[in-house]
Structure 1
Amino acid sequence: MTDDPATILLVEDDAATRTFLGDELTADGYEVFVADCLRDGLRLLETKFPDLVVCDVGLPDGSGLDLLRHVRSADRLAGRVDPRTPLLVLSGRCAETDRIRSFERGADDVVAKPFSYGELRCRMRALLRRCEGRSRSGVLRVGDLEVDPVARRVTLRGQVIALSQKEFALLRTLASEPLRVFTKDELLRTVWGFRSIPGTTRTLDSHACRLRGKLGAAGDLYVLNVWGVGYRLIDPPSVVAEDLAVAA
């Protein structure tokens, strides 16, 4: 594991609960991503690669149980989601049948509302501890470049490349389909979570430039700007087909 703070995805439609938990977890040293609906929860799940998910069941556009099913049915080798991601259900629907249904869909723990924040935090820590030793998988290989979403680790010809959280998320997205051109709007939405795109932001370009520099220190050419469109990781002739395989 790295020394980075654990990342928590909080999917909660109640604004007061969402704000309270976001503030408290951040104060306790976690990196927190929040969503108020199933759609945004699934999007963040596939782009932020959280260490743990805390999810309500009753969401305005669906059920949190669908998110649990999405995680547990994911392809751990080729997919964007690690099916072993710890899942904690935080819900006001906690009759015995509701708890059983959550566990059957893949929940690791269920906490009823109203809840004690101290107890919730301890349960989250316990889940994170139990998952620290899980084996690494889903490593993306593009030529000599390896991206490990679970460990949040990047190596180039065996040498570790230190990246910021956003640089890693950008690289992980590009590496998922290294020949495809991702538009700027698409990357700003998936990596930064923008719902509307500011017309003058240089956020993406500055991160892409720094990422290109870190990966290109030894002369390698990654993170290519397709003018007027967006970015891709490599040019089509740069690697042979087998280098694009996702390895266990």
Structure 2
Amino acid sequence: MANAVLVAEPEPATRGFLERHLADDGFDVLGAAECGEALELAERARPDLVLLGDTAALEECRSWSSEVPLIVIGAPEADAVDRARALERGADDFLSRPFLYDELLARIRAVLRRTAPVVPDVVRVGALEIDRPTRRVAVGGKRIDLPAKEYELLLKLASEPSRVFTKEELLREVWSFRSIGKTRTLDSHASRLRRKLARAGGGPFVVNVWGVGYRLRED
């Protein structure tokens, strides 16, 4: 499952360079020229990390979510004080221009490792139990056999049971789609998964939040 990186960089050549090389290195890449566009993309796609090329927009971009790691790419004249201020204002790392791509890539991977959520081997949500090592799913002790994508969708929703995952986010992380288009893939899988869980006595699970996406259960 590829990590998604949002590149919020006002300079077109730098943004294109980063988008191209990060995609070659296996990331799903979203590009934005300014903070407003970046915020809109972040709300819809829920990236795993943000690269921010405009330090003046740090507080505005950080206001979207303190949970998404953010690396600032600073100006050539940035000094130790600029780096310290960026970190104090919520950045997870800071790199000045001109930068070496290999160093930036190493920092991205290090931040993602450091901030990755810890998922237990056995995930329990009410009567639902998911055993990750064996991929066994049960509701009230009754085992349910799920195909690979239904299992991955369930596991993703169960990682934060009350949070609404956007359709774009789920299609990217479960199916590796780069854009939504008009596909019904997610809806059809969610519908089948919901019926299977209901037949086993669980639910309501896999709740459709109209116009947004899905969450595992109601609050």
User: Which deviates further from its counterpart, 93-102 or 117-126?
Assistant: 93-102
Asked whether 1:120 is paired with 2:104, we answer yes
Let me know the Cα RMSD of the aligned residues: 4.5
Asked if 1:103 is matched to 2:82, the reply is no
Gaps of 5+ in 1: 73-82, 147-154, 179-186, 193-200, 235-242
User: How many Å separate the matches in 2 of 1:106 and 1:43?
Assistant: 19
- In the TM superposition, what whole-angstrom CA distance separates every residue of 1:172-201 from its partner, at most 9, and x where no partner exists? 9xx6469xxxxxxxx789989xxxxxxxx6
User: Which amino acid letter does the alignment assign opposite residue 99 of structure 2?
Assistant: F
Which secondary structure state, in structure 2, belongs to the residue aligned with residue 244 of structure 1?
Answer: coil
SS at match of 2:78: coil
Go from structure 1 to structure 2 and tell me whether the alpha carbon gap of 1:223 and 1:230 turns closer, same or farther (over 3 Å shift). Answer: farther
3-state DSSP class of the match of 1:107?
Answer: coil
Structure 2: how far apart are the matches of 1:53 and 1:108? 10
Residues 35-60 of structure 1: CA deviation (Å, up to 9, x unaligned): 222123223333333222211225xx
Q: Distance in 1 between matches of 2:27 and 2:109?
A: 11
Q: How does 1:85-234 map to 2 (within 5 A)?
A: 85-92=68-75, 94-132=78-116, 134-135=117-118, 157=139, 162-163=148-149, 176=163, 202-203=182-183, 205-218=184-197, 219=199
- The corresponding residue for 1:50 is 47
- The Cα of 1:90 is off from its aligned counterpart by 0.9
- The residue identity in structure 2 corresponding to 1:202 is K
8 Å Cα contact 1:222-1:233 kept in structure 2: no
Partner Cα separation in structure 1 for residue 127 and residue 148 of structure 2 = 18
Shift of 1:67: 1.5
Identical residues among aligned pairs (%): 27
TM-score, scaled relative to structure 1: 0.56
Summarize the Cα distance change of 1:56–1:163 in structure 2 as closer, same or farther, 3 Å threshold: farther
Unaligned runs of 5+ in 2: 131-136, 172-180
Size of the alignment, in residue pairs? 191
CA distance in 2, matches of 1:163, 1:48: 19
The question of whether the paired residues in 2 share the 8 Å contact of 1:7 and 1:30 is answered with yes
